[in-house]
Amino acid sequence: MRVVVIGAGILGSSVAYHLAMNGIEVEIIDEVHQGKATLAGAGIVSPWATKVTDPEWYKLYGAGARYYAELVEGLTRRGETDLGYGRVGALVVAEDRNELNAAEQRIQSRIVDAPEAGDVRRVSAKEAKQLFPPLRDDLDGIYIPGGARVDGRLLAAAMTRAAVAMGATLRHDHVSLDLQDGRVRCIDSNGSLIEADEVVVTAGAWASQILRPLGLEHPVRPQRGQIVHLRLAGVETRSWPVLLPMTSHYMLAFDDSRVVIGATREDNTGFDYRVTASGQAEVLNAGLAIAPGLATGTIIETRIGFRPAGDSFKPILGRVAGLDGLIIGNGLGASGLSIGPYAGRLLSQICMGEKPEIDTAPYAPASA
Amino acid sequence: MRVVVIGAGILGSSVAYHLAMNGIEVEIIDEVHQGKATLAGAGIVSPWATKVTDPEWYKLYGAGARYYAELVEGLTRRGETDLGYGRVGALVVAEDRNELNAAEQRIQSRIVDAPEAGDVRRVSAKEAKQLFPPLRDDLDGIYIPGGARVDGRLLAAAMTRAAVAMGATLRHDHVSLDLQDGRVRCIDSNGSLIEADEVVVTAGAWASQILRPLGLEHPVRPQRGQIVHLRLAGVETRSWPVLLPMTSHYMLAFDDSRVVIGATREDNTGFDYRVTASGQAEVLNAGLAIAPGLATGTIIETRIGFRPAGDSFKPILGRVAGLDGLIIGNGLGASGLSIGPYAGRLLSQICMGEKPEIDTAPYAPASA
Amino acid sequence: MRVVVIGAGILGSSVAYHLAMNGIEVEIIDEVHQGKATLAGAGIVSPWATKVTDPEWYKLYGAGARYYAELVEGLTRRGETDLGYGRVGALVVAEDRNELNAAEQRIQSRIVDAPEAGDVRRVSAKEAKQLFPPLRDDLDGIYIPGGARVDGRLLAAAMTRAAVAMGATLRHDHVSLDLQDGRVRCIDSNGSLIEADEVVVTAGAWASQILRPLGLEHPVRPQRGQIVHLRLAGVETRSWPVLLPMTSHYMLAFDDSRVVIGATREDNTGFDYRVTASGQAEVLNAGLAIAPGLATGTIIETRIGFRPAGDSFKPILGRVAGLDGLIIGNGLGASGLSIGPYAGRLLSQICMGEKPEIDTAPYAPASA
Amino acid sequence: MRVVVIGAGILGSSVAYHLAMNGIEVEIIDEVHQGKATLAGAGIVSPWATKVTDPEWYKLYGAGARYYAELVEGLTRRGETDLGYGRVGALVVAEDRNELNAAEQRIQSRIVDAPEAGDVRRVSAKEAKQLFPPLRDDLDGIYIPGGARVDGRLLAAAMTRAAVAMGATLRHDHVSLDLQDGRVRCIDSNGSLIEADEVVVTAGAWASQILRPLGLEHPVRPQRGQIVHLRLAGVETRSWPVLLPMTSHYMLAFDDSRVVIGATREDNTGFDYRVTASGQAEVLNAGLAIAPGLATGTIIETRIGFRPAGDSFKPILGRVAGLDGLIIGNGLGASGLSIGPYAGRLLSQICMGEKPEIDTAPYAPASA
Q: Which of B172, B208, B217 is the closest to A271 by Cβ?
A: B172
Q: Does the structure show a pLDDT above 90 at D354? A: yes
Chain B's closest residue to A207, CA to CA, is B189
Q: What are φ and ψ of residue A209, in 5° steps?
A: -70, -35
* Cβ-contact A210, A178 below 8 angstroms: no
Residues in A closer than 8 angstroms to D238, CB to CB, are 79, 81
Mutate to test the interface with B, among D231, D272, D276, D303 (most CBs of B within 10 A): D276
Q: Which of A205, A221, A272 is the closest to B172 by Cβ?
A: A272
Higher confidence at residue A295 or residue A54? A295
Residue D257, chain A, CB below 8 Å: the answer is yes
The answer to whether the peptide bond before residue C263 is cis (omega within 30 degrees of 0) is yes
Q: Does the structure show a pLDDT above 80 at C138? A: yes
Determine whether the interchain pair C287/A294 forms a contact, defined as Cβ–Cβ distance below 8 Å: no
Chain C nearest CA to A274, separation (Å): 6
Determine whether the interchain pair D190/C272 forms a contact, defined as Cβ–Cβ distance below 8 Å: no
Q: Which subunits count as partners of chain D given 3+ CB pairs below 8 Å?
A: A, B, C
pLDDT per position as a tens digit, A164-179: 999 999 998 989 999 9
Q: Ranked by mean pLDDT, which of A256-265, B9-18, C334-343 comes out on top?
A: B9-18
Strand ranges, E, within chain D:
2-6, 25-29, 42-45, 90-93, 121-123, 141-144, 148-151, 169-171, 176-180, 183-187, 193-194, 198-201, 221-231, 242-244, 250-254, 258-262, 298-309, 316-319, 326-330
Whole-number average pLDDT of chain D: 93
pLDDT per position as a tens digit, D80-112: 888 889 999 999 999 889 999 999 999 999 998
Whole-number average pLDDT of chain B: 93
Confidence at B346, pLDDT banded by 50, 70, 90: very high
B276 DSSP assignment: B
Average pLDDT on A249-264 reads: 92
Residues in B closer than 8 angstroms to C236, CB to CB, are 79, 161, 164-165
Residue B268, chain D, CB below 8 Å: the answer is no
Considering chain D, what percentage of its residues have pLDDT values greater than 90? 75
Residue A173, chain B, CB below 8 Å: the answer is yes
Residue C76, chain B, CB below 8 Å: the answer is no
Q: Which of A186, A201, A162 is nearest to A80 (CA)?
A: A162
| B160-174, C8-22, C347-361, D234-248: range with lowest mean pLDDT | D234-248
Chain D nearest CA to A117, separation (Å): 23
Mutate to test the interface with A, among D5, D83, D155, D161 (most CBs of A within 10 A): D161
Average pLDDT on D112-119 reads: 90
Chain B nearest CA to D292, separation (Å): 9
Residues in B closer than 8 angstroms to A34, CB to CB, are 32, 34
pLDDT per position as a tens digit, B15-57: 999 999 999 999 999 987 888 888 888 889 999 988 777 888 8
Per DSSP, the residues of D293-333 read GGTT-EEEEEEEEEEEE-SSS--EEEE-TTSBTEEEEE--G
Q: Looking at residue A40, what is its pLDDT?
A: 83
Average pLDDT on B135-152 reads: 95
Helix (DSSP H) and strand (DSSP E) numbers for chain B: 9, 19
Q: Which subunits count as partners of chain A given 3+ CB pairs below 8 Å?
A: B, C, D
Determine whether the interchain pair A176/B222 forms a contact, defined as Cβ–Cβ distance below 8 Å: no
Chain A's closest residue to D86, CA to CA, is A81
Q: Looking at residue A311, what is its pLDDT?
A: 74
Residues in C closer than 8 angstroms to D272, CB to CB, are 32, 171-173
Give the whole-angstrom CA distance, residue B171 versus residue B2: 15
Q: Which subunits count as partners of chain B given 3+ CB pairs below 8 Å?
A: A, C, D
Give the whole-angstrom CA distance, residue D334 versus residue D307: 6
What are chain C's domains? 2-39+153-220+312-363 (3.50.50.60), 87-146+222-308 (3.30.9.10)
Q: Which of A161, A233, A238 is the closest to D236 by Cβ?
A: A161
Interface of A with D in 273-332 (CB under 8 A): none
Determine whether the interchain pair C172/D217 forms a contact, defined as Cβ–Cβ distance below 8 Å: no
Chain B nearest CA to C248, separation (Å): 30
Q: Looking at residue D333, what is its pLDDT?
A: 80
Residue A167, chain D, CB below 8 Å: the answer is no
Q: Which parts of chain A fold into alpha helices (H)?
A: 10-21, 37-40, 55-77, 97-111, 125-131, 152-165, 207-211, 277-290, 336-351
Determine whether the interchain pair C284/A281 forms a contact, defined as Cβ–Cβ distance below 8 Å: yes
Chain B nearest CA to C210, separation (Å): 24
Residue C217, chain D, CB below 8 Å: the answer is yes
Structural Rg of chain B based on CA atoms: 20
Q: Looking at residue D302, what is its pLDDT?
A: 95
Give the whole-angstrom CA distance, residue C73 versus residue D41: 47
Residue C182, chain D, CB below 8 Å: the answer is no
Determine whether the interchain pair C277/A285 forms a contact, defined as Cβ–Cβ distance below 8 Å: no
Residues in B closer than 8 angstroms to D295, CB to CB, are 276-278
How many CB atoms are located within 10 Å of the residue D98 CB? 8
Confidence at C246, pLDDT banded by 50, 70, 90: confident
Q: Looking at residue B95, what is its pLDDT?
A: 87
Determine whether the interchain pair C189/D217 forms a contact, defined as Cβ–Cβ distance below 8 Å: no
> Position A324: which residue type?
D
Geometric angle at alpha carbon B361, from B355 and B366, rounded to 5°? 125
- Helices A152-165 and A10-21, axial angle in degrees (round to 10): 30
* Cβ-contact C320, C326 below 8 angstroms: yes
A125-153 per-residue burial string, b: 16 or more CB within 10 A, e: under 16:
eeebbebbebbbeebbbbbbbbbbbbbbb
Give the SS3 label for residue C127: helix
Q: Looking at residue A82, what is its pLDDT?
A: 81
Residue B79, chain C, CB below 8 Å: the answer is yes
Q: Does the structure show a pLDDT above 80 at B135? A: yes
Q: Does the structure show a pLDDT above 90 at C85? A: yes
Parallel, antiparallel or unpaired: strands B221-231 and B298-309: antiparallel
> Position D114: which residue type?
A
Chain D's closest residue to A235, CA to CA, is D161
Q: What are φ and ψ of residue A231, in 5° steps?
A: -110, 135
Average pLDDT on D269-288 reads: 95
Determine whether the interchain pair A161/D82 forms a contact, defined as Cβ–Cβ distance below 8 Å: no
Give the whole-angstrom CA distance, residue B16 versus residue B232: 36
Confidence at B236, pLDDT banded by 50, 70, 90: confident
Residues in B closer than 8 angstroms to C79, CB to CB, are 236, 238-239
Chain D nearest CA to B208, separation (Å): 26
Q: Which helix (H) or strand (E) holds B137?
A: none
Confidence at B246, pLDDT banded by 50, 70, 90: confident
Confidence at C168, pLDDT banded by 50, 70, 90: very high
Residues in B closer than 8 angstroms to C256, CB to CB, are 82, 154, 157
Q: Which of C154, C161, C239 is the closest to B234 by Cβ?
A: C161
Determine whether the interchain pair D205/C189 forms a contact, defined as Cβ–Cβ distance below 8 Å: yes
Chain D's closest residue to C311, CA to CA, is D190
Determine whether the interchain pair C82/B164 forms a contact, defined as Cβ–Cβ distance below 8 Å: no
Q: Which of A82, A170, A256 is the closest to D233 by Cβ?
A: A170
Structural Rg of chain A based on CA atoms: 20
* Cβ-contact A100, A125 below 8 angstroms: no
Average pLDDT on C214-240 reads: 92
Give the whole-angstrom CA distance, residue D334 versus residue D360: 20
| A222-231, C106-115, C161-170: range with lowest mean pLDDT | C106-115
Determine what percent of chain D falls in helix, strand and coil, rounding each to the nearest 5: 35, 25, 40
Considering chain C, what percentage of its residues have pLDDT values greater than 70? 100
Q: Looking at residue B243, what is its pLDDT?
A: 97
